[in-house]
Chains A and B, each alone.
Chain A
């Protein structure tokens, strides 16, 4: 599903070049449940952004579901994100003035899907995460765990190739964190590829494969282990 070869990425800071990723080789197969760990500054967020086509890389090759992701225009990148990637963020990133249902439906808006159909589908996905009764609520009327579940529903609604979650439990207490992880597990069991960035060991331990990053290189977990081992 995801194939990274010798991915390098550096940022300019003033007159210095700061190399964040120093040649990443990584394969993640379809249906995997993977976590990426690493201390802050290890490059894990950058890696996630590159996988999520939010950021570009300087060198190497990135194939997503067999498609080369390189040198895309902003519009192409947006379309690929919309079709292939579902994002889940630490701070949920729901639009505050839209109801849960409208938030879930948002990615379909950018697929130019008819409003009625969007709303119906959104309700279906809300039901899947157990929040059908909260469809008309605004994000600030929901608890953190509920908001994250709305965000997961939003990530799933386009039926993407991969779900990318950046510290999805970082803003939640541990009980709620486990609930959310249960949801990810369930989504994964249904066949979805899930990649979670986290710095919490217990969260990482719930995934099937842990990739550890340090100073821009993969320290361990580069070799794929078969799923559900």
Chain B
């Protein structure tokens, strides 16, 4: 469709009207630039908020025991049920939509020493899946594994800050610490994905196998609370009542007791933020497309003027045997070329600036609360290019039709 001659035509008209073409192109450039920039910044805002929210929190629920408020099967109200490890097996067997279940039992402020350095820290008894559910990350070594639990090994995973306090710059993996006078081997270092006021605890806690906790510190075989995650295609809000109902049944809590087994999930909050950003994105697209549309109307206008100016040329071409199709082709090619080139530059500029902001933030370790990793979605870029070609065709359509209708007799009349 676009051969060397067509290009030559386009270049010659563009060169003849540098300013006019430039200003027209600016409209489209700015449209695409704004679209890309605004969407990229929106993405940064979104990433920032969702990061603060915690990647995984969206399909995670918590269950814990609390005092009952109703009598049931001879039990008095005010009793506090005790969650146990067997509850995990029961949940796994009965509720298929649960992906991971991780219990936690904490004992606070226990003396922990490495050689003669030490302090009091929270000790957590856990199973291996906690790090898969909560917003935690492993910095060094490994987390608790199934063998640790089976054999009640005396291994400990240190919170990042605790590791720094006890070992300083030294490598702590394989070293020994004493918890309440019992020796534990350090197997790993963990911390929260993001440091927030409410994740400080994760920096300092020490995690040991739950089974070891039971044997060594005589806590009794209980669990403070469970964290459950729903399978990827399941909404956590659908499994929360199931889990609670099952636990109520197992622990003789009245099925309609609002208390007894407490539960909580962030899905509703998460969903409202998702919806909010959906709305923001739609608005940004609306604004971006609007700006682009203004640019396209500009191109269309200019093309109309161009066709008017070239009436004589079109007449000559028709006399030489140009078919209406070839004339339409010529005008459309010019329109698409102007929009595509300028829009592509806008796309590059927008991507470059978004990338630059991201780079500068990374390089300077800037982590403002609600802004992180602004990015241009590749599909946005691709969409923009398709949009541009369509836009160019749309902008050129009316002028091209006008050109095809040029009457050679009238156009060639010598005045």
Contact = CB atoms under 8 A, between A and B. Distances in A.
Contact of A49 (B321, B322, B409): B409
Contact of B320 (A49, A82, A97, A167): A82
Given A93-B316, A97-B12, A106-B317, A79 B409 contact: no
A117 B408 CA distance: 28
B244 interface: no
Interface residues of A, number: 30
B5 A115 contact: yes
A3 interface: no
B321 A110 contact: yes
Given A55-B409, A91-B414, A95-B316, A74 B322 contact: no
Scoring B16, B316, B319 by chain A CB atoms within 10 A of each residue's CB, the highest score goes to B319
A216 interface: no
Contacts of A107: 320-321
A195 to B, nearest CB: 15
Nearest to A171: B414
Contacts of B323: 74-75, 78-79, 110
A83 interface: yes
A87 B319 contact: yes
A101 to B, nearest CB: 13
Nearest to B404: A74
Contacts of B414: 89-91, 167, 170
B412 A82 contact: no
**Size band of the interface chain B makes with A:** 20 to 34
A18 to B, nearest CB: 15
B318 interface: yes
A140 to B, nearest CB: 13
A154 B320 CA distance: 9
Given A89-B414, A90-B414, A106 B320 contact: yes
B124 interface: no
Given A97-B12, A97-B16, A78 B322 contact: yes
A79 B321 contact: yes
A154 B326 CA distance: 19
B351 to A, nearest CB: 35
A21 B348 CA distance: 61
Contact of B408 (A54, A82, A98, A154): A54
Given A95-B316, A97-B16, A81 B324 contact: no
A82 B313 contact: no
Contacts of B325: 75
Nearest to A106: B320
Interface in B296-325: 312-313, 315-325
Contacts of B322: 78, 110
A55 B410 CA distance: 10
A31 B323 CA distance: 28
A167 B414 CA distance: 10
B312 A93 contact: yes
Contact of A89 (B5, B13, B404, B412): B412
B315 to A, nearest CB: 8
Nearest to A157: B320
Interface of B is mostly: helix
B321 A82 contact: yes
Interface in B1-57: 3-5, 8, 12-13, 16
Contacts of A81: 318-321
A93 B412 CA distance: 8
Interface in A72-130: 74-75, 78-79, 81-83, 87, 89-91, 93-95, 97-98, 106-107, 109-111, 115
Contacts of A170: 414
Given A93-B312, A110-B326, A115-B4, A78 B321 contact: yes
Nearest to B12: A97
A212 B412 CA distance: 23
A43 interface: no
Contact of A74 (B3, B16, B324): B324
A137 B291 CA distance: 43
A38 interface: no
A95 B312 CA distance: 9
Nearest to B315: A93
A52 interface: yes
Interface string B309-350: 000110111111111111000000000000000000000000
Nearest to A49: B409
A49 B411 CA distance: 12
B328 to A, nearest CB: 11
A110 B320 contact: yes
Given A90-B414, A106-B317, A115-B5, A75 B324 contact: yes
A113 to B, nearest CB: 11
Scoring A94, A97, A111 by chain B CB atoms within 10 A of each residue's CB, the highest score goes to A97
Contacts of B320: 81-82, 87, 106-107, 110, 154
27 contacts: A49-B409, A54-B408, A55-B409, A74-B324, A78-B318, A78-B321, A78-B323, A79-B321, A81-B320, A87-B319, A87-B320, A89-B412, A89-B414, A90-B414, A91-B414, A93-B412, A94-B316, A95-B313, A97-B12, A106-B320, A107-B321, A109-B5, A110-B321, A110-B322, A110-B326, A158-B321, A167-B414
Given A78-B323, A93-B316, A110-B323, 13 more contacts: A54-B408, A55-B409, A78-B321, A78-B324, A79-B321, A82-B321, A89-B412, A90-B414, A93-B312, A93-B315, A93-B412, A107-B320, A110-B320
Interface of A: 49, 52, 54-55, 74-75, 78-79, 81-83, 87, 89-91, 93-95, 97-98, 106-107, 109-111, 115, 154, 158, 167, 170
Interface of B: 3-5, 8, 12-13, 16, 312-313, 315-326, 404, 408-409, 412, 414
| A-B complex: 8 closest residue pairs judged by Cβ atoms | A82-B321, A97-B12, A78-B323, A110-B321, A75-B323, A107-B320, A93-B316, A81-B321
